[in-house]
Amino acid sequence: MGVGVLGFGSISWALADELPLPTPVGASTPVAQPDMSVMSAEADTSLALRARAALEADPALSGLNLLVSVVNRAVVVGGPVPDEDLIPRVEAVVRKVPGFSDVKVTCFVHAPTDDPLKREILARMKAANAANPLAGLPTLAIGVPRPDPSPSADLPPLTALPRPTVVEASPTAAAEVYAIGDRRPPGTVTVQRVAGGPFPLFLEEPVGPGGVRVTSLPMPATSAAPSAEPTIPPTTVPTAPPAFGNGNGDGIEAAVSNVRSADARFADLTVTVRGGTAVVAGRARKDADAWEFVQAVRKVPGIDRIVLGRVDAR
């Protein structure tokens, strides 16, 4: 038995080292304390809401613009009131709300001033509103489209612009010379067809007075469309029979060169002689200068026809 006791005692002693020590008598575990500032703010908010509800529930104070502020359960009520007798009533209503440590009222009397001018203006405005009630105003039709206004009432009448006259030139295989002394009406356009499809159009604007318009491309023989405007017939320049030249144009070119050198206005104009046809091109200061040069060249013996090429303004 003695060995068992000892053995039991040895076991008890070994477990005592491993187990935690018992808590002393009278000691307590520390408990976390609540945040009193948060609790105070929540309580102040709740008290402010209850004070505001009490003021709104009073028939004499309902609708007034009063400010309620609560800090640490002390309430301050301020704002304008129409009558001085309502100030103690505000304090009495707030004191009935439980939970406040102190009540302070800073309300003041704010009554409208008795201004004769304002009274007269208000009286006139009320009379005008009575004479012209809102019920007499036209109502807006929502969703109904507005009818289109009459074009003749809001817009000026439209005037059709005249379209230019299109005249088809008389086709011919030879070159044609047109004197612009017989000028066509303004806006007239000459339409020419070129041999081979698809027949593109060439539009020529009228040339100023004194100029010359020449068509030098061979045209296919087609029937010309009837035109309301009389067409200018081809003009053949009458010339004297050739009195000199070897048939290659050498003598004619020399005579034409003499015509060009006789007047400084003809210095930039050129003439190319091909058989009995003279092609005039180059530059001229005025259209009349080119026309006078053509008139002088056609008097040269040996020239049967004159073709005016491209003449630019100098």
Q: Where in the chain are the domains?
A: 37-109, 164-220+234-314
User: What backbone phi and psi angles, to 5 degrees, belong to 254?
Assistant: -65, -40
Across the beta sheet with 67-71, what order do the strands follow? Answer: 67-71, 74-81, 102-109
pLDDT at 28: 55
pLDDT at 33: 57
> Residue 29's pLDDT band (boundaries 50, 70, 90)?
low
- List pLDDT tens digits, range 242-292: 433 444 456 788 888 888 888 888 888 888 888 788 888 888 888 888 888
pLDDT at 244: 39
Do residues 63 and 92 make contact, with C-beta atoms less than 8 angstroms apart?
Answer: no
- Exposure of 168 by Cβ count < 10 A (0-12 exposed, 13-18 middle, 19+ buried)? middle
pLDDT at 94: 95
pLDDT at 82: 86
Do residues 77 and 67 make contact, with C-beta atoms less than 8 angstroms apart?
Answer: yes
| Per-range mean pLDDT, top range of 33-42, 220-229, 243-252 | 33-42
Do residues 51 and 57 make contact, with C-beta atoms less than 8 angstroms apart?
Answer: no
> Residue 77's pLDDT band (boundaries 50, 70, 90)?
very high
The CB density around residue 43, as the number of other CB atoms within 10 Å, is 14
Omega cis (within 30) before 198: yes
- List pLDDT tens digits, range 88-122: 999 999 999 999 999 999 999 886 666 777 778 87
In the predicted structure, residue 125 carries a pLDDT above the cut 80: yes
In the predicted structure, residue 38 carries a pLDDT above the cut 50: yes
List the one residue out of 109, 47, 36, 42 whose CA is nearest residue 73: 47
d(CA 192, CA 200): 8
CA 57 to chain centre: 59
- Exposure of 89 by Cβ count < 10 A (0-12 exposed, 13-18 middle, 19+ buried)? middle
Q: Could you name the CATH architecture of 37-109?
A: 2-Layer Sandwich (3.30)
pLDDT at 272: 85
Mean pLDDT of 83-89: 91
Which residue has better confidence, 172 or 62? 62
pLDDT at 224: 53
Mean pLDDT of 55-82: 92
List the one residue out of 249, 180, 176, 265 whose CA is nearest residue 215: 176
pLDDT at 175: 41
pLDDT at 31: 54
In this structure, of 69-78, 183-192, 291-300, the range with the lowest mean pLDDT score is 183-192
Cα Rg of the chain (Å, integer): 59
Helix crossing, 250-261 with 287-297: angle to 10°?
140
Confirm whether pTM is higher than 0.85.
no
In the structure encoding, which two tokens stand for residue 24, read together?
Answer: 């002393």
